[in-house]
Chains A and B, each alone.
Chain A
Amino acid sequence: MLLQMDNITKKYGEFSANRGIDFSLRAGEVHAIVGENGAGKTTLMRILYGMEQPTSGTIRLNGKEVSFASPLDAIQGGIGMVHQHFMLFPTFTIAENIVIGNEPGSGAGFDRKQAVKIVEGLCEKYGMKVDPRATVSSSAPGVQQRVEILKVLYQGAEIIILDEPTGVLTPLEVQELLDAIKQLSKQGKSFILISHKLNEVLDVADRITVLRDGAVTGVVEKGNTDAHQLSRLMVGRELMELDRKPITPGEKVLEVSDVSIRGTKGKPVLDGVNLEVRAGEVVGIAGISGNGQSELLQVISGLAQPDSGRIAVSGKDVTGMSTREIREHGLAHIPEDRYVWGANRTATVMDTGLMGHQRRLQQGGFLKLKDIRTLVSGWVQKFSIKTGSLETSTQYLSGGNLQKLIVARELEQGTPFLIAAEPTRGVDIGAMETIHGELLKRREEGTGILLVSSELTEILKLSDRVLVMYEGRIAGELSAKDATEEKLGLLMAGGTL
Chain B
Amino acid sequence: MNKWTKFTLPLLQPIAAILVGLLAGAIAIMIAGGDILQTYAEMWKGAFGGMYFFTNTLSRATPIILIGLGAAFAFRAGFFNLGAEGQMVFGALSAALVGLYMPGPGWLVCIAAILAGVIAGGLWSVMAGYFDARFRVNLLISTLLLNYVAVLFAGYLVAYPLKDRSGSAAMAQSEMLDNSVWLPKLISGMPLHVGFVLAVLAALIIFVLLKRSVIGYEVRMLGGNPLFALFGGVKRGPMMLGAMFFSGGLAGLGGAVEILGSQYRYIDGALSTADYAWTGIMAALLAGSHPIGTLIASIFLAALQTGGMGVERNTEVPLEVGAIIQAVLILFISARFTYSFLKRRKGNKSDGTAV
Q: Kindly identify, within residues 177 to 216 of chain B, every residue whose CB is under 8 Å from any CB belonging to chain A.
A: 212-215
Q: Which of the 9-residue segments B220-228, B249-257, B300-308, B315-323 touches chain A?
A: B220-228
Binary per-residue interface labels of chain A (14-43) against chain B in the complex, 1 for a CB within 8 Å, 0 otherwise: 010100000000000000000001111111
B6 neighbours in A (Cβ, 8 Å): 391
**Also in contact, A347 and B220, with CB within 8 A (given A322-B235, A323-B230, A399-B351):** yes
Q: Is A351 an interface residue (CB 8 A)?
A: yes
Q: Can you list 10 residue pairs at the A/B interface with Cβ under 8 Å?
A: A42-B353, A46-B354, A84-B353, A301-B231, A327-B232, A339-B351, A355-B228, A355-B232, A395-B344, A399-B353
**Secondary structure at chain B's binding surface: helix, strand, loop or mixed?**
helix
- The answer to whether the Cβ of B347 comes within 8 Å of any Cβ in the partner chain is yes
**Does A434 touch B at the CB level, under 8 Å?**
no
The answer to whether B355 and A40 touch across the interface, beta carbons within 8 angstroms, is yes
Complex formed: what's the CA distance from A126 to B235 in Å? 54
Q: Does A346 make an interface contact (CB < 8 A)? A: yes
Quick one: which of A164, A345, A400 contacts B347, CB cutoff 8 A?
A345
A333 touching B352, Cβ below 8 Å: no
**Cβ < 8 Å to A, chain B residues 315-347:** 344, 347
Asked if A344 and B352 sit within 8 Å, CB to CB, the answer is no
Stretch in A113-121, A279-287, A365-373 with 4+ CB within 8 Å of B: A365-373
Q: Which residues of A contact B170 (CB under 8 A)?
A: none
Task: Flag if A347 contacts B212 (CB, 8 Å).
Answer: no
- For residue B156, CB closer than 8 A to chain A, the reply is no
Nearest neighbor of A338 in chain B, beta-carbon distance: B351
User: A residues engaging B (CB < 8 A)?
Assistant: 12, 15, 17, 37-43, 46, 84, 164, 194, 196, 301, 303, 322-324, 327-328, 333, 335, 339-347, 351-352, 354-356, 358-359, 362, 365-367, 369, 388, 391, 395, 398-400, 426
Bound CA–CA A196/B352 (angstroms): 13
Additional A-B contacts beyond A38-B355, A395-B347, A399-B351 (17; CB < 8 A)? A17-B354, A303-B230, A324-B233, A327-B232, A327-B233, A339-B348, A339-B351, A340-B228, A352-B228, A355-B228, A358-B217, A365-B213, A365-B214, A365-B215, A366-B213, A398-B355, A426-B353
| Interchain CA distance A301-B227 in the complex, whole Å | 13
Complex alpha-carbon distance, A37 and B355, angstroms: 7
Interface assignment of B218: CB less than 8 Å from any CB of chain A: yes
Nearest first, the 3 A-B pairs at minimum CB distance are A42-B354, A324-B233, A344-B224
Q: How far is the CA of A43 from the CA of B234 in the complex (A)?
A: 39
Contact A367 B212 (CB under 8 A): yes
Beyond A12-B355, A42-B355, whether A362 also contacts B232 by CB under 8 A is no
CB proximity of A128 to chain B, nearest CB, Å: 26
Q: Which residues of B approach A to under 8 Å, CB–CB?
A: 1, 6, 212-215, 217-218, 220-221, 224-225, 227-235, 344, 347-348, 350-355
In contact, B235 and A37 (Cβ under 8 angstroms): no
Smallest distance from the beta carbon of A400 to chain B beta carbons, Å? Answer: 7
Q: How far is the CB of B351 from chain A (nearest CB, A)?
A: 5
Is there an interface contact between B224 and A346, defined as CB atoms closer than 8 Å?
A: yes
The listed residue (A38, A43, A347, A358) touching B224 by CB distance below 8 A is A347
Chain B residues whose C-beta falls within 8 Å of the C-beta of A322 in the assembled complex: 233, 235
A356–B233 CB distance below 8 A: yes
Expressed in whole angstroms, the Cα–Cα distance for A354 and B228 within the complex equals 12
Q: A80–B351 Cα gap in the complex (Å)?
A: 21
Residues from chain A with a CB closer than 8 A to the CB of B220 are 344, 347, 351
Min distance, Cβ B288 to any Cβ of chain A, angstroms: 11
A40 contacts across to B, CB distance below 8 A: 354-355
> Residues of B contacting A196 with CB < 8 Å?
353
**A-chain residues with CB within 8 Å of residue B217 when the two chains form the complex:** 351, 354, 358, 367
Let me know if A367 and B213 touch, CB within 8 A.
yes
**A111 smallest CB distance to B (angstroms):** 33
Q: A355-B221, A366-B212 are contacts. A17–B355 as well, Cβ < 8 Å?
A: yes
- Nearest CB of chain A from residue B215's CB, rounded to whole Å: 7
With the chains together, A15 CA to B355 CA distance in Å? 10
Contact of B214 among A347, A367, A399 (CB under 8 A): A367
Residues of A with C-beta under 8 A to B234 = 324
* Structural contact, B353 and A41, CB atoms closer than 8 A: yes
Closest B residue by C-beta to A359: B214
Q: How far is the CB of A6 from chain B (nearest CB, A)?
A: 20
Q: Chain B residues with Cβ under 8 A from A345's Cβ? A: 224-225, 344, 347
Partner of A344, one of B225, B351, B354: B225
A37→B354 contact, CB < 8 A: yes
Interchain CA distance A356-B214 in the complex, whole Å: 11
Question: What CA separation (Å) do A168 and B13 show in the bound complex?
Answer: 42
* A225 vs B125: C-alpha distance when bound (angstroms): 68
Q: Which residues of A contact B225 (CB under 8 A)?
A: 343-346
Q: From B226, which residue of chain A is reached at the shortest CB distance?
A: A344
Expressed in whole angstroms, the minimum distance between the Cβ of B137 and any Cβ of chain A is 22
Q: Which of B228, B347, B348, B354 lies in contact with A342, CB distance below 8 A?
A: B228
Q: Is the CB of B228 within 8 A of A344?
A: yes
Residues of B contacting A39 in the complex (Cβ-Cβ under 8 angstroms): 354
Q: B352 — which chain A residues lie within 8 A by C-beta?
A: 42, 84, 398-399
Cβ–Cβ contact A388 & B1, under 8 A? yes
A39 and B213 CA atoms in complex are apart in Å by: 40
Alpha-carbon distance between A398 and B354 when the two chains are bound, in angstroms? 8
Complex CA gap A143/B227 in Å reads 31
By the criterion CB–CB under 8 Å, are A341 and B227 in contact? yes
Q: How far is the CA of A426 from the CA of B352 in the complex (A)?
A: 8
Task: List the B side residues contacting A352 at CB < 8 Å.
Answer: 228
**Considering the chains assembled together, what is the distance between the CA atoms of A62 and B235 in angstroms?**
62
Among A84, A194, A324, point to the contact of B235 (Cβ < 8 A). A324
Taking CB atoms, residues of chain B closer than 8 Å to A366 are 212-214
A41-B354, A346-B224 given as contacts; is B347 within 8 A of A358 (CB)?
Answer: no
A311–B97 Cα distance when bound, in Å, is 54
Q: B228 — nearest CB in chain A belongs to which residue?
A: A344
Are B354 and A341 touching (Cβ within 8 A)?
A: no
- State whether B354 touches A347 (Cβ < 8 A): no
User: Given A358-B217, A367-B213, do A323 and B354 touch, yes or no (CB 8 Å)?
Assistant: no
User: Are B354 and A38 in contact, with the CB atoms below 8 A?
Assistant: yes
Instruction: Kindly state the separation between the CA atoms of A399 and B354 in the bound complex, as whole angstroms.
Output: 9
Smallest distance from the beta carbon of B355 to chain A beta carbons, Å?
5
B212's nearest neighbour on chain A, judged by CB, is: A366
Task: Report Cα–Cα, A351/B234, bound state, in Å.
Answer: 14
Question: Which residue from chain A places its CB closest to the CB of B6 in the assembled complex?
Answer: A391
Nearest-neighbor residue (CB-CB) of A331 within chain B? B233
